[in-house]
Amino acid sequence: MKSFVQLDIDPDSLEINSFNKRNLLQLLDDLYGSRTAGTARRDATSRKVKDTRDLSLFAKIISSDKARLHLHGGKSLEEAAIYVDTRDQSLTRLDTITKELSLLVRKILTGSSKETEDLALQEAVKRLDSAVKGFLKKHA
């Protein structure tokens, strides 16, 4: 975060020599929400970091130009994290997302009619699940 804000501190006196005001304001918006026009209040619903457990992930994201651009372009913290994940983290994410998608589709289609679209969705998710399992087996 220090590099993002371009913070320069005198090591002896600990006085702040310089910083990037625009980046500091962006950091505050990310952490506390954007400022409400005409007031000093912040809109907490617009903050990027919703939980303190995500601060280390946030620090990684703002340290990466590509991830930071996606975050500030409107993507969620989780979406921006994809750009800083290691290959192993991405493979784990793929496995998790596929399992969650399968569960979600099963939940949505439970007790539903056997319409063509329902069956097509079930089949597509099964094929995706199978393809992901095969991919992970080969590349993990």
Q: What's the pLDDT tens digit per position in 52-72?
A: 999 999 999 999 999 999 999
Instruction: Indicate whether 16 and 52 sit together in one domain.
Output: yes
Q: What is the pTM of this model?
A: 0.75
Cβ contact 39:33 at 8 Å: no
User: What pLDDT does 64 receive?
Assistant: 94
Instruction: Indicate whether 22 and 65 sit together in one domain.
Output: yes
Which of 39, 57, 81 terminates a domain? The answer is: 81
Checking if the pLDDT of 43 tops 80, the result is: yes
User: What pLDDT does 113 receive?
Assistant: 67
Which of 65, 81, 97 terminates a domain? The answer is: 81
The residue ranking higher by pLDDT, 56 or 112, is 56
Judged by DSSP in three states, 34 sits in strand
d(CA 22, CA 28): 10
Instruction: Indicate whether 57 and 108 sit together in one domain.
Output: no
Instruction: Indicate whether 7 and 53 sit together in one domain.
Output: yes
Instruction: Indicate whether 98 and 34 sit together in one domain.
Output: no
Instruction: Indicate whether 67 and 126 sit together in one domain.
Output: no
**Residue 117: which domain range?**
87-139
Phi, psi at 39, each rounded to 5° = -135, 170
Tell me the average pLDDT across 33-62.
Answer: 91
Instruction: Indicate whether 131 and 100 sit together in one domain.
Output: yes
Number of folded domains that form the chain: 2
Instruction: Indicate whether 69 and 94 sit together in one domain.
Output: no
Checking if the pLDDT of 140 tops 80, the result is: no
Burial of 113 (0-12, 13-18, 19+ CB in 10 A): exposed
